[in-house]
Each structure stands twice: as C-alpha cells, then as structure tokens.
Amino acid sequence: MLWPNDETWSAEKHERIVTTENGSRFLWVVDCGHLTLRSGKLVACDPFAFLQESDNPHVLAPPGRYPVSVTLADVSENLDRSDIREAYATVRLASGLEVYRQALPLARDGESREPLDGDTFIGFSVDSGTACFVDDEAVTNCMPSGVDWDETLFDNGSDDSWFARMDDPNHIRFGLANLMLPLAQNGETIIIIHSGWGDGTYPVVGSFDANHQLLAVHIDFFVV
C-alpha cells in the first residue's frame, strides 16, 4: 500500500515501537496545547524563512480551537533516547475512526485545490530546520507590520525570542513551542516544531473517516 496509507504510518502513536527499513523507532506523543483557527486557513510552513504577513499557502479546516501534538521518534540504534526526532505534527480536528489518509494541497486563496492522487504531494519547503502551524488571518492581524521579524522576534538575542523559546526544555520540551503572537487579542498562537531531519520538503496529510470528514491534519517529517 502506498504512502500515506502504508502500514508504517505512525502519527499519534504513543509508546509504540515501529519497525522500518532503517531500523526500529520508539514513538511517543507530546501535547503542545491548542491552536485557534478563526479563519479555518491552516498554514503549515517554515516560520523563520517563509512566513508572510498575509496570504500564506494553507489547507482548509473548520474554524475552531483544536489540540496540537507532536509524535517524537527515538531513532538511536539502541533506542536509548540519544537521538530524538520530530516525526509528525498533528492538529486534531475531530474524534472518529480514521479510514484513509490523503495528502492535502497547500494553496493560497483563489488557487486550485485539486485532489492529489496516490503518493503525490505538494509540500512546503523548510530552510531553517523548523516548521509551524498557524492561522493565516491570525498572522495578518497579530504580527507587526513593516518590521524585520527576524531582528525583532525570531532571533533578537533575548530569552523571549522565538528561537530561544523553541529550544527551552522547560517550555514544552526542546524543539517545540506554543507562542502567543505579538499583537494577539484573543489568544492567537503559533505552534513551532523542529522539522525531524531538518531542511527539506514536507507534505501535509489529512486523516478522514468513512464519510470523508477531515479528522486531523498532519505534517509528515519522513522520520518513520
């Protein structure tokens, strides 16, 4: 069976060992809090390299407030937690029995959202070893305009910079952060995640039930 419906798919698998062609992976799930999608335009991108003030490529989801989790994988030879990678990031939209998965096209408003067949995907590029989930309209409304985000927010040398918070083991854990957007009025946040093996192109995948309802949106970092 082709990805993403193959038997090694492991998003949200907690305290499980999965056998892959590259060895065994011990998996567990870390809770990253909630993400509010007021517009339903769920952006997945590299926040430090490609996040724009508006009109970011996104997938469509029902507006709401949803739990986010990251599935971690121990990829060390002896499964001794010496090499831990982010395998999947997940926004859980609804409970239900997952029947199939399908890659979701990231597109801007007005662009084609034709369904993707088989194991094809239109992913997003990562150039800073980091990915994120955020609401597109939240970025427009809650990020400062006309300033250099890198100097003011991302890597400004303070303990509150996004890089520092992401790598703070006392926040969620090293490599993960749920951060309030600077101009947030209603709890708008961004979820930031180290991207598994690092830079590359990664797909966004939807989980569906038998009635084709979208249950979850995942980023697959191709660790499993």
pLDDT band at 210 (very low <50, low <70, confident <90, very high): very high
What is the token pair recorded at 83?
Answer: 């090499």
CA atoms within 13 A on the CB side of 110: 2
Domain count, the chain: 1
Residue 2: inside a domain: no
| DSSP string for 108-156 | -TTS--PPPPTT----EEESSSEEEEEEHHHHHHHS-SSS-HIIIIISS
Please calculate the CA angle 175-131-59 and round it to the nearest 5 degrees. Answer: 140
- Report which DSSP code applies to 161: S
CA dihedral 224, 197, 170, 17 (to 10 degrees): 20
- Residue 222's identity, in one-letter code, is F
Per-residue pLDDT tens for 173-182? 999 999 999 9
What does the pLDDT read at residue 116?
80
CA dihedral 136, 139, 140, 146 (to 10 degrees): -140
Average pLDDT for 13-20:
94
Integer CA distances (angstroms), 81 to 75, 76, 90, 216, in order: 8, 7, 22, 28
Residue 58 forms part of a structural domain: yes
Backbone angles phi, psi at 13, to 5 degrees: -85, 125
> From CA 14, how far away is CA 11, in angstroms rounded?
9
Stretch 167-192: mean pLDDT: 96
**pLDDT, tens digit (0-9, with 9 covering 90-100), for 118-139:** 888 989 999 999 999 999 999 9
Residue range 199-210: mean pLDDT, rounded? 97
* pLDDT value at residue 50: 97
Confirm whether 71 is domain-assigned.
yes
> Structural domain of residue 63, as residue ranges?
16-220
Residue 4 placed within a domain:
no
pTM (two decimals): 0.95
Mean pLDDT, range 51-64, rounded to an integer:
96
Residue 91, strand partner residues: 68, 217
In the predicted model, is pLDDT for residue 117 greater than 90?
A: no
pLDDT for position 114 = 84
Is 172 inside a domain boundary? yes
- Report which residue type is found at 148: D
**Domain assignment of residue 199, yes or no:** yes
The size of the chain, in residues, is 224
Say what the pLDDT of residue 34 is: 97
Evaluate whether residue 5 is within a structural domain: no
pLDDT digit string (tens) for 76-113?
Answer: 989 999 999 999 999 999 999 999 999 999 999 999 88
* Overall average pLDDT of the 140-168 stretch: 94
Give yes or no for a cis peptide into 57 (omega within 30° of 0): no
Average pLDDT, the chain: 95
pLDDT the model gives residue 63: 97
- Flag whether 1 is in a domain: no
Residue 1 confidence (pLDDT) above 80: no
